[in-house]
Amino acid sequence: MKHVLALLATAILLMPTPAQAVWDLDTRSGEEGLLKGQKRDIYALAVSRDGKLLASASFDGTTRVWNTETWKLVYNLPGHSHGIGAVAFSPDGKYIVSGGLDGVIQVWDLNDGKKFTSIKDSPSSILSVAFSADGTTLASGGMDGQIRVYPTDTWQQLLVLKGHTGAVNALSFSPDNKYLASCSYNELGIRLWERATGKPAQTLMDHSEEVYSVAFSPDSQYLASAGADRVIRIWDTRTLLPISRLSGHLKPVWSLAFSPDSKTLASGSIGDKTIRLWTVPKGANVQTLIKGIDTTYSLAFNPVNGQLYSGQNDSFVHIWNNNPETTPERANVQVAAKLESWRETTPAGDAKPSAGEQGELLLRLENIGSEHLNNITATVMFKTPGVVLNTPAQAFFLSRFEAGSLKKLPLPITLPKDLTEDFEIEIVIEVQQPAGQTILPLRVPLNQTIESLKPGANL
């Protein structure tokens, strides 16, 4: 049988001990790089277009507005009887809106911090709010699965966008004012709506589980999405096709944010205690921030100075800074991976097993750097549906990996039944050093094919 296995040999960079992160908590701002004062989890963040104000919304029902130059508290806005699900600044800097689990949208005047108006159209909790890039429209998403659209000159409901079957947990307007993107619990797709008319434009399908977050890049070229399947997608907004799949998070991905130059994507998880930074559009995981906080609910970049802010389940706002002047040089530590061979193990002449054809992939890891590695772990994960790794262990421990040496990992697998001629396999390999070092995955995208594999054939 002819199979096509798609694999790409890509280097994995490992940070040396005891290197400091390129991104780290900015202890020059706030207290220990943290903004304190709210009593419960920070569920939503927003930054004003001029970068001077940061808003943090909490499950304690308050929204705090901070001056990003002095880190002094500007306003403490109560307003909600329950927790807050979303917050956003108007592009003209006049207003800040907060959407509450009490079903109310509060609109605050930033000139004096007083309530401007309240919107009570939604019968259910508000989980997401977003302003259009031109500031003329506010959209909100709620537990009832509906998106409500309000012109900002009247704040009166204009449209109700229906189609989602679950709560609308994230909204994002494209900066070019072409689309509104939304996602919902219990749905695998991302819905695109025409910004001008509110009509459905397209549903993007690639996720295997429900989607939790969507975000357009500032240059409008990309849309990022992530959710329960732990794999982030980057979509080309011209073709509306996925161009990268970013694997590395070990738990569902809840939050996404693009840097001001659209070259970096930040992602946060609910459960794996990490924030990851990826290159755009290729998706190399250039750094993983590990601070022991279980859940990252919200991420936001400052559009002016590029600082990163994260809201988590410890009631603090974390301030991250990328300071090239303090960035250490990386050691020449690299690991390369490639597929060495494929061998069928299904006995010749026997009927195929009900679960599909069995075989063994031989994976080769090579330390192509100049330093010896000690006590590293290589975790192998198959992302192609139907491919099963027939071994209880997915993590392989290497006590000594000398510079220039090779390690071969046999991977017994079962392929799906009824393979097609263009069948492809996607593998993610993650190498980790001990002592809390940065973890960078090897992405194996589906863009390089190896045809006519035969039992024992070398690649």
Per-residue pLDDT reduced to its tens digit, 109-158: 999 999 999 999 888 899 999 999 999 999 999 999 999 999 999 999 99
Average pLDDT over residues 186-206: 95
Lowest mean pLDDT among 43-57, 112-126, 257-271: 112-126
> Where along the chain do the CATH 2.130.10.10 domains lie?
22-326
As a whole-number percent, the residues of the chain with pLDDT over 70 amount to 75
Q: Summarize pLDDT for 344-369 with one digit per residue, the tens.
A: 765 544 444 344 667 777 777 777 66
Distance CA 151, CA 63 (A): 23
Cis, peptide link before residue 18, omega less than 30° from 0 = yes
**Band of pLDDT at residue 323, cut at 50, 70 and 90:** low
What's the pLDDT at 123? 82
Average pLDDT over residues 310-324: 86
324 φ/ψ angles, rounded to the nearest 5 degrees? -60, -25
- pLDDT beyond 90 at 401: no
- pLDDT beyond 50 at 444: no
Lowest mean pLDDT among 178-187, 306-315, 373-382: 373-382
405 versus 35: which is more confidently predicted? Answer: 35
- pLDDT beyond 80 at 212: yes
**Band of pLDDT at residue 2, cut at 50, 70 and 90:** very low
Distance CA 299, CA 317 (A): 10
- pLDDT beyond 90 at 324: no
* Mean pLDDT, all residues of the chain: 80
Distance CA 368, CA 333 (A): 7
- pLDDT beyond 80 at 384: no
Report the candidate in 161, 111, 107, 114 with the shortest Cα–Cα distance to residue 135: 107
Report the candidate in 103, 40, 37, 44 with the shortest Cα–Cα distance to residue 75: 37
What's the pLDDT at 184? 95
Tokens representing 423?
A: 């069948």
- pLDDT beyond 90 at 160: yes
What's the pLDDT at 412? 83
As a whole-number percent, the residues of the chain with pLDDT over 90 amount to 51
What's the pLDDT at 365? 75
Q: Summarize pLDDT for 287-297 with one digit per residue, the tens.
A: 888 766 778 99
pTM over 0.75: no
> Where along the chain do the CATH 2.60.40.10 domains lie?
5-12+330-458
Lowest mean pLDDT among 123-127, 178-182, 213-217: 123-127
SS3 labels along the chain: CCCCEECCCCCEECCCCCCCCCEEECCCCCECCEECCCCCCEEEEEECCCCCEEEEEECCCCEEEEECCCCCEEEEECCCCCCEEEEEECCCCCEEEEEECCCCEEEEECCCCEEEEEECCCCCCEEEEEECCCCCEEEEEECCCCEEEEECCCCCCCEEECCCCCCEEEEEECCCCCEEEEEECCCCEEEEEECCCCCEEEEEECCCCCEEEEEECCCCCEEEEEECCCCEEEEECCCCEEEEEECCCCCCEEEEEECCCCCEEEEEEECCCEEEEEECCCCCEEEEEECCCCEEEEEEECCCCCCEEEEECCCCEEEEEECHHHCCCCCCCEEEEEEEEEEECCCCCCCCCCCCCEEEEEEEEEECCCCCEEEEEEEEEECCCCCEECCCCCEEEEEEECCCCEEEEEEEEECCCCCCCCCCCCEEEEEECCCCCCCEEECCCCCCEECCCCCCEEC
Q: Summarize pLDDT for 12-45 with one digit per residue, the tens.
A: 333 333 333 478 888 777 678 899 988 899 999 9
Distance CA 381, CA 55 (A): 38
The correct answer on CATH 2.60.40.10 for the domain covering 5-12+330-458 is yes
The correct answer on CATH 2.130.10.10 for the domain covering 22-326 is yes
304 versus 442: which is more confidently predicted? Answer: 304
Cα distances (Å, whole numbers) of residue 192 to 106, 199, 214: 26, 9, 11
